[in-house]
Amino acid sequence: MFLNQPIRKDQSVIFFGGDVNIGRRTNFNLYKNPFGNLQIMTEADLRIINLECVVAAQGKQGVNKGERGPFYYHARLEQINLLTDAQIDVVLTANNHSLDYYEAALLEQNNYLDRAGILHIGTGKNVEEASKPLFIKVNDIIVALFNVDCTMTPFAATEDKAGIFYLPQDEPKLWKEFFTEKIADARKKADVILVAPHWGPNGVEEPIEQVKILGRLLIDCGADAVLGCHSHFIQGIETYKDRPIIYDAGNFLFDVKARLGGAFSIVISKRGVEKVYFVPLVIHRCKILPTNEEQSVQMRDKFLDFCRKLNTEGIIVRNDLVELKFNPPREERVLEPVKLSSSRRDGEKIQPMTEPLPEWTAEKVPEDAQIEPQQLGALKLVGCRVPDDCLMMKSRKMLYVETWWTLNEPTDKDLRIKILGVPTIADSMPNFGEGMTHQACDWMFPTNRWKSGVIYYEKFGLRPPKRNELVTVDISVEISVLDGNNELGKYIYPTKIQLKIPNR
């Protein structure tokens, strides 16, 4: 086995991986097994990850103010099969991407997860549903799992609106009120209580003080462990009252280049959490790779240093394995009956869409969007338009571009669309939409499913440069089609976008 010693009969193992994005570039990097048959994952009794995207056909790019720029993570329906193939049991969905495509898309995603037999937590049709814990039997141990976000206020579920379970990060009093009551109730029915918060700033390797306060508060409220996410980087583990606070699990499966990360195995008994193991990994271009010896030592030592700063010492088992031990208090209790949730290995395979949604096609190109048809490889661009509210921009926002396409003969190629907003003065600032090459219909209906004679439509937002990079300059919209890395011609939209940034 991967861990350093056999698991006792009264113990179980929970695998915890961080942010998983099966959308965006993962849509066309179709590896058969992107999770890589990780032994630490396959040997676990329960597998939990944070699903950091939206798996749904419907919806449009929505509000996303909580990050350094608008990011929209859209996954085609069949991408859920990557999770079932990897035997993922539970996905956390209270995060800053669950409503990238609005409420209907979130509920569509949850429906497909149900059909696939994957448990989900942290979102729902109202706040009552979104805030409910899961009760899961892991061998003979009953686990209660909570999921909460504190990064995306606009996504919060209400009594009559779908969304995430949200609590403000700067109001620990609200956390204490909610979790004191809910954990006490869950403690009557479960042996082990886990709370998974999505918290803190993005892109940092150490937890901020606000997050530390909340982590300890959750333990004070009765949690046996805290499983944090959001930063996209591994952070350390703090031992508090002999219980672990995993501040951030970092990226697990993401479309980033060669980033060192890792994952966790949590050994539980009816007493609580007895051990946590950390294994270093490489996250590279939509797949997970084992580390070589140099990478293992580098990430292992970095993780141990993070833990020491939180007054926690780890044990080096091997270069690719760190062990942390805990001594939870013994407490004999008779549990009340509770309705259990369980993932299903017999869940159905989610099939690709064979017909486009009505909003992805058009009977004709609007008169003000008609252009001289442009043959770009197998595709023909027959219409293009920039909405009026994007023709003049005085602040940082998405630059939306509408396009209409057709083809003469069906193609078996998955051609990709590249749209850039290019400054007309060289080197004045980066492009709008840099790195946002995508599949047609905002990833949802690739060209190998297209039929000849049909007009296909999409409205796609180009992510702006950072605020401090914006200047007053005209922007030229450039559209091309890619076959792999080969660019198949280019069309330049004749109307220039006016970007007028005050004092820049």
Q: What is the CATH number of the domain that holds 413?
A: 2.60.40.770
User: Is the residue at 350 inside a domain?
Assistant: no
376 and 241 both lie in a single domain: no
- DSSP per-residue codes, 390-438: HHEESSS--EEEEEEEEESS--SS--EEEEEEEESSTTSSPPBTTT--B
How far apart CA 467 and CA 470 sit, in angstroms, is 6
User: Is the residue at 339 inside a domain?
Assistant: no
Q: How far does CA 179 lie from the centroid of its chain?
A: 25
Give φ, ψ of 134 to 5 degrees.
-95, 145
Q: What percentage of the chain has pLDDT greater than the value 90? A: 89
pLDDT of residue 30: 74
pLDDT of residue 504: 80
The DSSP code for 432 is B
Q: What is the pLDDT of residues 313-328, one digit of tens each?
A: 999 999 999 999 999 9
Contact 414, 443 (CB under 8 A): no
User: Is the residue at 344 inside a domain?
Assistant: no
pLDDT of residue 38: 92
Instruction: Give the mean pLDDT of 379-398.
Output: 95
User: Is the residue at 5 inside a domain?
Assistant: no
Q: What is the pLDDT of residues 394-430, one digit of tens each?
A: 999 999 999 999 999 999 999 999 999 999 998 889 9
Q: What is the pLDDT of residues 125-134, one digit of tens each?
A: 999 999 999 9
Compute the mean pLDDT over every residue in the chain, rounded to the nearest whole number. Answer: 95
pLDDT of residue 330: 79
398 and 485 both lie in a single domain: yes
pLDDT at 390 over 90: yes
319 and 362 both lie in a single domain: no
Give φ, ψ of 497 to 5 degrees.
-85, 135
Please list the alpha-helical segments (H only) found in 161-249.
172-187, 209-220
The DSSP code for 341 is B
pLDDT at 63 over 70: no
215 and 119 both lie in a single domain: yes
Instruction: Give the mean pLDDT of 104-114.
Output: 98
190 and 252 both lie in a single domain: yes
CATH of the domain at 272: 3.60.21.10
Instruction: Give the mean pLDDT of 464-489.
Output: 95
Q: How far does CA 197 lie from the centroid of its chain?
A: 14
76 and 122 both lie in a single domain: yes
Q: Which of 278, 300, 325 is the last residue of a domain?
A: 325
pLDDT at 346 over 90: no
pLDDT at 280 over 50: yes
245 and 199 both lie in a single domain: yes
Query: What element of type H or E holds 107?
Result: helix 102-116
Mapping DSSP to helix (H, G, I), strand (E, B) and coil, where does residue 135 land? strand
Q: What is the pLDDT of residues 174-192, one digit of tens each?
A: 999 999 999 999 999 999 9
Q: Which of 325, 349, 383 is the last residue of a domain?
A: 325
Structure tokens of 357? 């949604």
Q: Which of 270, 301, 325 is the last residue of a domain?
A: 325
- DSSP per-residue codes, 63-75: ---SSSS----EE
Contact 288, 261 (CB under 8 A): no
Nearest to 430 by CA among 467, 387, 460, 461: 467
pLDDT of residue 64: 58
Mapping DSSP to helix (H, G, I), strand (E, B) and coil, where does residue 455 land? strand
pLDDT at 108 over 80: yes
Instruction: Give the mean pLDDT of 354-363.
Output: 97
pLDDT at 66 over 50: no
User: Is the residue at 1 inside a domain?
Assistant: no
258 and 384 both lie in a single domain: no
398 and 274 both lie in a single domain: no
User: Is the residue at 7 inside a domain?
Assistant: no
Nearest to 387 by CA among 472, 450, 460, 447: 460
The count of structural domains within the chain is 2
Instruction: Give the mean pLDDT of 356-361.
Output: 97
484 and 379 both lie in a single domain: yes
Question: What pairing do the DSSP bridges indicate for beta strands 272-284 and 321-325?
Answer: antiparallel
The DSSP code for 133 is P
Instruction: Give the mean pLDDT of 355-374.
Output: 97
Residue 67 banded pLDDT, cuts 50, 70, 90: very low
Residue 301 banded pLDDT, cuts 50, 70, 90: very high
Instruction: Give the mean pLDDT of 83-88.
Output: 95
Q: How many CB atoms lie within 10 A of CB 177?
A: 13
User: Is the residue at 382 inside a domain?
Assistant: yes
User: Is the residue at 348 inside a domain?
Assistant: no
Q: What is the pLDDT of residues 190-202, one digit of tens each?
A: 999 999 999 999 9
Q: Which domain holds residue 316?
A: 13-325
Q: What is the pLDDT of residues 133-178, one digit of tens each?
A: 999 999 999 999 999 999 999 999 999 999 999 999 999 999 999 9
Instruction: Give the mean pLDDT of 199-225.
Output: 97
Residues in Cβ contact with 30 at an 8 Å cutoff, skipping those fewer than 6 apart: none
113 and 260 both lie in a single domain: yes
pLDDT of residue 69: 59
370 and 414 both lie in a single domain: yes
pLDDT at 499 over 60: yes
pLDDT at 275 over 60: yes
Instruction: Give the mean pLDDT of 27-33.
Output: 82
